[in-house]
Amino acid sequence: MAEGVVIVLLGEERLKKYEFAKWPKVYEFEVVFGLSTDTYDGMGVVTSFHEGAVSEEALRTALKSFEGEYTQDVPPYSAARVKGKPLHWFARNKKLSGIAIPRKVGKIYEIKLVDFYEKDFKHIVNALRERISKVTGDFRQSQINTRWVQLVEAQKAKKTVQVAKIWVKTSKGLYIRSLSQDIAHKMKTTGFVYSLVRTENGEHTKKDAKTLVEVFGNNYSKTYNFTSNP
C-alpha cells in the first residue's frame, strides 16, 4: 500500500539515527472519497459510505488550511504504544473505548492538489485485492478481501469514485492516513488512502534511491532472510 524512500544506516552512521529521523518528509498520496475503512487505507474493512460529491475548488482551498502547526489522532491500526501494547492490539480486540487515542503534533510545510479525477470503482477494488494478496502474515486478509468483493457485487458504491492526488511536505512523525481523514472530514465526507509514496526523506530523494532488486538481485527474497525475529 505504501512505498518510497527509507534510510538504511550501517556502521557508525547508525548512531545518527535520531538526527536522520528529524528530517522533513515529502509524500504523494491518493485519497478515494466516499468510503472509509477502519485502517484509513485500502488494507482495512470498509466502515461507512458517503454519497456527497467533492468540489475540486473547495478541496484546493481546504488543503491550504492545513499548512502550519497541525495536530492529528494516531490511526487505531498502528504500532504506537499505549499501556505497553501496540495500538492495533486494542483495535483488533475491540478495546479502543477503554483508552485515550494518542495525538501527534507536527507541522505541514506545504500541501497542494496534484490531480483530481474519477476512477472506476471495480478497478480500485481489483488493484487493492492484488496488493492484499502480496502481503504475508495475518492482518485479516480474508475478511478484508471478502468485504471488498461484497461491495462490488452488491453495488453499494458508485460505479466511479472521486480520487485526489495530493503532494505534502511534513515534519517527522505524522501519519498520512490520519491526514487523509482530516481532509475528508473538512470536505464533509469520508475517504481512505489508496496509494502512498514517500518521495523525499530529508536530502534523499526517490530518484537517488535503490530498490531491493537493484541492491540484492531479482531473487533477493529467496536468497536473504528479511524476516524480523522477536
Q: Which residues contact 160 (CB under 8 A, 6 or more apart)?
A: 118, 119, 120, 121
Q: Which of 121, 114, 111, 108 is nearest to 33 (CA)?
A: 121
pLDDT tens for 196-211 read: 999 999 999 999 999 8
Domain boundaries of the chain, sorted by first residue: 27-223
The yes-or-no verdict on residue 120 having pLDDT over 90 is yes
Q: Comparing 139 with 226, which gets the higher pLDDT? A: 139
Residue 230's pLDDT band, with cuts at 50, 70 and 90, is very low
The average pLDDT across 29-47 equals 95
Q: What is the pTM of this model?
A: 0.91
Three-class HEC string of 175-217: CHHHHHHHHHHHCCCCEEEEEEEEEEECCEEHHHCCCHHHHHC
pLDDT level of residue 12 (50, 70, 90 thresholds): very high
Give a three-class secondary structure readout of 88-123.
HHHHHCCCHHHCCCCEEEEEEEEEEEEEEEEEEHHH
Kindly state the percentage of the chain with pLDDT values over 70: 96
CATH of domain 27-223: 3.30.2350.10
pLDDT digits (tens, 9 = 90+) for 71-97: 999 999 999 999 999 999 999 999 999
Q: Is-contact 207 199, C-beta < 8 A?
A: no
**Which single residue is written with the C-alpha cell 492484499?**
132
Reduce the secondary structure of 44-93 to three states and give it as a string.
CCEEEECCCCCCHHHHHHHHHCCCEEEEEECCCCCCCEECCEEHHHHHHC
The grid coordinates of residue 187 equal 470536505
Asked whether the predicted pLDDT for residue 158 surpasses 90, the reply is no
In percent, the amount of the chain with pLDDT more than 90 equals 71
Total residues found in the chain within this entry: 230
